[in-house]
Structure 1
Amino acid sequence: MKVLLLLAGCVALTGCSVFGQNNVESAPYTLVKADQALKIEVRNYASMVLVSAEMPEGSRNTAFRKLFRYISGENYGATEISMTAPVLMAGNAEVKPGTEISMTAPVFMGMQGGKSQMSFVMPKEFTLQNTPKPKDPTLQISELRNYQVAAIQFSGTLSAGNVAEHTQILQDWLKTQGYVAIGAPLEAGYNGPMTLPMLRRNEILIEIQ
Structure 2
Amino acid sequence: MKKLLTVIAMAFLAGCSIVGEAGVESAPYDLIKTDIDSKTETQLEIREYKSMVLVSTSMDDGGRNSAFRRLFNYIAGDNKGQKEIAMTAPVYMGNDASENASGIKEQGTKIAMTAPVFMNNDAVKNLQGNAMSFVMPADFTYATTPTPNNSKVIVSEVKNYKVAAITFSWTLSDSNVEKHTKILLDWLKKTDYTVVGKPYTAAYNGPMTLPMYRKNEILVPIK
How far residue 183 of structure 1 moved from its aligned partner, in angstroms, is: 1.0
Q: Which residue of 1 aligns with 2:165?
A: 151
Percent of aligned pairs sharing the same letter: 56
More strand by percentage: 1
Q: For residue 48 of structure 2, what is the amino acid of its counterpart?
A: N
Q: For residue 108 of structure 2, what is the amino acid of its counterpart?
A: G
Measured in 2, the distance between the counterparts of 1:166 and 1:116 equals 20
SS in 2 for 1:169: helix
Q: For residue 42 of structure 1, what is the amino acid of its counterpart?
A: I
* Residues 146-185 of structure 1 mapped to structure 2, 5 A cutoff: 146-185=160-199
Q: Which residue of 1 aligns with 2:129?
A: 115
Q: Which stretch shows the higher mean deviation, 186-195 or 71-80?
A: 71-80
Measured in 2, the distance between the counterparts of 1:49 and 1:207 equals 17
How far residue 166 of structure 1 moved from its aligned partner, in angstroms, is: 0.8
Relative to structure 1, the CA distance from residue 57 to residue 80 in structure 2 (aligned partners, 3 Å threshold; closer, same or farther) is closer
Structure with more contact order per residue of length (Cα contacts < 8 Å, sep ≥ 6) = 1
Contact map agreement 2:14 2:21 (CA 8 A) in 1? no
Q: Which residue of 2 aligns with 1:205?
A: 219
* Residues 30-45 of structure 1 mapped to structure 2, 5 A cutoff: 30-36=30-36, 37-45=41-49
Q: Which residue of 1 aligns with 2:55?
A: 51
Contact map agreement 1:16 1:23 (CA 8 A) in 2? no
Measured in 1, the distance between the counterparts of 2:115 and 2:42 equals 22
Q: Which runs of 5+ in 1 are unaligned?
A: 1-10, 86-95
How far residue 78 of structure 1 moved from its aligned partner, in angstroms, is: 4.1
Q: For residue 30 of structure 1, what is the amino acid of its counterpart?
A: D
TM-score normalized with structure 1 length: 0.84
Relative to structure 1, the CA distance from residue 60 to residue 45 in structure 2 (aligned partners, 3 Å threshold; closer, same or farther) is same
Measured in 1, the distance between the counterparts of 2:42 and 2:17 equals 26
How far residue 26 of structure 1 moved from its aligned partner, in angstroms, is: 0.5
Q: Which residue of 2 aligns with 1:92?
A: none
Relative to structure 1, the CA distance from residue 155 to residue 119 in structure 2 (aligned partners, 3 Å threshold; closer, same or farther) is same
Q: Which stretch shows the higher mean deviation, 105-114 or 138-147?
A: 105-114
TM-score normalized with structure 2 length: 0.79
Aligned residues: 189
- The CA RMSD measured in Å over matched residues stands at 1.9
Measured in 1, the distance between the counterparts of 2:63 and 2:171 equals 20
